[in-house]
Structure 1
Amino acid sequence: MIKLQQALYDWPTKSFEQSLKNELLALAPGILPLQQGVAQGGYVDDSDLQFTLLDKSATAHQIVVKVGVFFSEIIAGCSCGDDPVSEHVYCEISIHIDRQNAEAWFYLV
């Protein structure tokens, strides 16, 4: 299970956004559901992820955050001279953080 401990600790201070971004960047490749967000059937290049906080809210049990994610999609196999091709992609992810143990779940919006 993925934990976003620092983001939970910093909720609801002004440090929350930066803590969340730092923890998301530190995740192992493939953890975020970005492959579902590719537009042309390629592969996610998560070497240069960028996040934008779009919305945040909380209940007694969880923090819910919506983030925009910018990344590159590698499109291979088109038999072109410049194969593979890289395209910029944007998708949105909903992140649910348990307020008791910092466990996080990620959903493509």
Structure 2
Amino acid sequence: MSEKIIDTAAQPAAPKTAKKKPAAPKKVADTGGFCVYLGPTMMGVIQRGTIYRGGRKEVLDTLAPVIEQHPLIASLVVSDETLPADRIKVKTPGNLLYVNYHKLAKGMK
């Protein structure tokens, strides 16, 4: 059997192509994010699960007239970053979101 030995130094170097990393997709937070109301539906006031565009501060400014009437609504508007954990907290006794949800559901301030 004949083995062919190739001298790599004698071969011309292949041009290296610069591999660019794909641009990271913009996170929703980069574009302002969103907030969700996790409290109970209050007919004519606010509905559970409503999604608002923008940061939490912007959303609370938008909801200012409603929050004046029912201040607990502000504590139940959560940002996109905390949404997964807060959805569980609203249903779990022993934390502030749970307490505020039930106070608001009963009509207490």
TM-score normalised over the length of structure 1? 0.23
| The structure with more helix, counted as a fraction of residues | 2
TM-score normalised over the length of structure 2? 0.23
| The structure with more strand, counted as a fraction of residues | 1
Max Rg structure: 2
